[in-house]
Amino acid sequence: MNSEKISPAENRHVKIVRQAIVDRAHGLWGSEIRTVGDLNDEHRDSACLTALQHIRPGPRAPQVLNHKFLRIGQIALMNNGTLKAIIQTARELEEQQQPFTLSLDNPLDALPGPLERRAMVRQLYTLKDQCGITLAYNNYRLDTKPADLLLDLKLYDYIKMPFPDSALRLSLNTRSDLFDRFYDRMLELISASRVCFIADTIEFADSALLAKNLPFEYFQGGYYSPADGL
């Protein structure tokens, strides 16, 4: 096993937090680690390396399967040092048969032009093909259009949706058919690509109940477990 060390971030303005992800029976399924704070170019890469330290496995394989998510902006993958550290972590987790998922924030405006976008596409396929990493599309919304996507959603293994989406809540108040259409859209994506939906940012009981009425497989938010600082 490669024993190369990942340098920690030295930035007091950035915090690393971890939050549980649960299944439909409210059983612990996994956890997501992310950075919170002012992530400018100077701090982004060191914060990502620090977060990876909390994901890398110990010397002994855990008794329980734990799906580990790392939430980052996709632009972080353009840094070779960060990319190598992610690949190293993925291989160490794979040795212990622990799944590793990158939960990607995907704003197209973070990639200035077509050359950067093509490079990002290559990075994502490299991660999936060579490292066994799974990908989650973060922040999917009802108004997300194909033109907003760098890649087709079929590349992703998980789709994370902030819940409830404001448009979806409005549809329930006005008795529109948006809820039914969104339900059908989720089933269509699940059937076409075997993707799993994760309801994110669930804070209250009514939101949890509403999410259970849609084909979400997993759930995340303060209602189930607060985010813990690391």
Domain that holds residue 100: 14-229
pTM for this entry: 0.86
Cβ–Cβ under 8 Å, residues 166 and 185: no
CA nearest neighbour of 111 among 148, 157, 82, 84: 148
CA nearest neighbour of 100 among 12, 32, 40: 32
Would you give per-residue pLDDT tens digits along the chain (230 residues)? 444 444 444 555 678 999 999 999 999 999 999 988 766 666 778 888 889 999 988 777 666 778 999 999 888 888 888 889 999 999 999 888 889 999 998 766 666 677 878 888 888 888 888 777 999 999 888 778 777 777 788 889 999 999 876 666 666 655 567 778 888 989 998 998 889 999 999 998 988 988 998 999 999 999 999 999 98
Q: Is residue 34 part of a domain?
A: yes
Find the CATH number of the domain harbouring 215: 3.20.20.450
Q: Is residue 74 part of a domain?
A: yes
Q: Is residue 143 part of a domain?
A: yes
Q: Is residue 5 part of a domain?
A: no
Domain count, the chain: 1
Q: Is residue 6 part of a domain?
A: no
Q: Is 164 exposed, middle or buried (0-12, 13-18, 19+ CB in 10 A)?
A: buried
Q: Is residue 101 part of a domain?
A: yes
Q: Is residue 3 part of a domain?
A: no
